[in-house]
Amino acid sequence: MDQPASISPKIDRSAKRPGSGWLTFSGVIALVVLLPIAELLLEAVKGSSGLWGHLFSTILPAAMTDTVILLAGVGFVTAVIGTTTAWLVTAYDFTGRRVLEWALLLPLAVPTYIIAYAYLDMLHPIGSVQGAIRWMLGYDSPRQFRLPDIRSMTGCILLLGFVLYPYVYIPTRAMFLTQSANLIDAARTLGVSRRAVFWRVALPLARPAVAVGISLALMETLNDVGAAEFLGVRTMTVSIYTTWITRSDLPGASQIALALLLIVVALVALERWARRRQRYASDARRSPQLVLQRVPAWKGALLLCAGALPVLLGFGAPAVYLVTEAWKRYQFAGLSPRILSEAVSTVTIATIATVATVGFGLVVAYATRVRPGAKSSWLLRFSTLGYAAPGTVVAIGVLIVLAGLDRFIDRSATAWFGISTGLLFIGSGAAVVYALVVRFLAISAGGIEAGLSRIPGSLDQASRTLGQSTSGTFWHVHLPLSKAAISAAALLVFVDCVKELPATLLLRPLNVETFATHLYGEAARGTYEEASIAALAIVAISILPVILLSRVGRSRASQPAIGSAGVLS
């Protein structure tokens, strides 16, 4: 009797797992991001060995010293201002507190190079501020009275600190708002004063948020080139720029950039080491009667003035100056045709870069969702490494990659067709877009990943049950439900592209100016009034994400509103 054939399902092992295509594209994007950094390392290694000795004996010691001092000073100032203002608006109830909560975000709308540009003109010996002080004191000449020169390390630390403190304020305030009410209640029940609650309970619990905020502020400090150069501080970023542009020494600039990259890696490692054993408690219960203390009117006025001081110095004074100077310039010469062409260049470059960055961010974030695991997690980390690298470092890597590609295409076209193609990528602005994508992909991927994480996994299962593929589920389910997160990420990326100075300054095509590069050029020449309209336009555009952050902060104060903070985790 014949044995019945056993029935066993045939498994098609050649079939792709769901999401394999998304994971492959994510790998390609990670490669695109890592390629400039890898080429930078190779260029630095291939550089003359004698050049290293020259750099270590002449440029690097002074640049390294100034960079470390600047980082230490900015870190201290941002930590003090960001932490104290966050505690002020979360622990005390006074008139104007709600306005102050979102007003403390306003310095984010002023790029560091613009505040340096504004204060250089305002605090000039023959400027409006010192002139008013001399008038009140009865002096007639700057020789009789003048303030200390703002072009100094101290001036640079203070100005950068008053602009970058919101990076500490935002996550620290969110942490204060979500700290366990049980611990604070217990401390108050045991008779601990409010000041002691801050030092012994609230601040230790908020240390991870403070560490992340300081790290982000220091990364922005490392990325700065305009403010440091305007204020006479020779950081490593400024040294890279002068070595490349002024001396036309790309190998030397690459080796300085490599040293700067090592500082960034050490900074991130130090931040993670500092909070390696930190744990903090959070629960859903918050006791406003114990956490918010109503203060007398006179004390509330003092607290309001203290909280408003960083806003005034970091946003109010520069904004008033820019509006005044822009109006004077408009009345004197009208709106320059250059401003219109620069606006077109700025918006065009920022729009193209935003579309590419958000598109790549969607792929990376969705690959992490549909194929969770170590591989997709590492690809996400590699794709977002560009945010940790300063713009000058990314610019050098992009230049090496695209210059080599341009040479290859030109040689091939000449050999095959007898036609010279020239600089296709570097001469067309593609290099600027590439650098901006590498720099800000972390913001896009982080924001979109956060939006996708709020979509229940049951919707994916229901969609697949109804016959939808992974891509079909994305188009019909995830994309419509994550439009808000995508829009917010696109807005943040667009504004950062408009504000970005180092990469745009180093990679823009000839005869192409953006608002940022125009402002840098005029400030370098000392003709501050010529750049006031461009500076005001940058500030006006940059205030858009501040409005977004203030709305997010009021609706969901329990979550930090810095999408790029995930880079450090």
For the record, the structure tokens of 36 come out as 């400039």
Computed over every residue of the chain, the mean pLDDT equals: 78
For the record, the structure tokens of 362 come out as 């969607």
Q: How many residues appear in the chain?
A: 569
pLDDT of residue 561: 42
pLDDT of residue 189: 64
**With contact defined as beta carbons under 8 Å apart, do 274 and 211 qualify?**
yes
Which residues in the chain land under pLDDT 50?
1-2, 5-15, 281-290, 555-569
Question: SS3 of 408, please?
Answer: helix
Distances (CA, A) of 478 to 18, 26, 451, 563: 15, 17, 9, 19
pLDDT of residue 8: 45
pLDDT of residue 296: 78
Contacts of 514 (CB under 8 A, 6+ apart): 342, 345, 346, 349, 498, 504, 508
Give tens-digit pLDDT for 4-38: 544 444 444 444 566 677 888 888 888 888 888 88
Give the span between the Cα atoms of 231 and 234, in whole angstroms. 9
20-300+309-322+345-563 homologous superfamily: MetI-like (1.10.3720.10)
| pTM, rounded to two decimals | 0.78
CA 252 to chain centre: 26
pLDDT of residue 427: 79
**With contact defined as beta carbons under 8 Å apart, do 79 and 284 qualify?**
no
pLDDT of residue 322: 85
Give tens-digit pLDDT for 447-472: 888 788 788 878 877 877 877 777 78
Give DSSP secondary structure letters for 125-193: TTSHHHHHHHHHHT--STTT--PPPSSSHHHHHHHHHHHHTHHHHHHHHHHHHHB-HHHHHHHHHTT--
Percentages helix, strand, coil for the chain, rounded to the nearest 5? 75, 0, 20
pLDDT of residue 216: 81
pLDDT of residue 65: 86
pLDDT of residue 181: 55
Which residues of 220-297 form beta strands (DSSP E)? 293-294
For the record, the structure tokens of 270 come out as 């130090």
Farthest-apart Cα atoms in the chain, separation: 122
pLDDT of residue 74: 92
Region label for 487, one of left (φ > 0), alpha (ψ between -120 and 50) or beta (otherwise): alpha
Contacts of 525 (CB under 8 A, 6+ apart): none
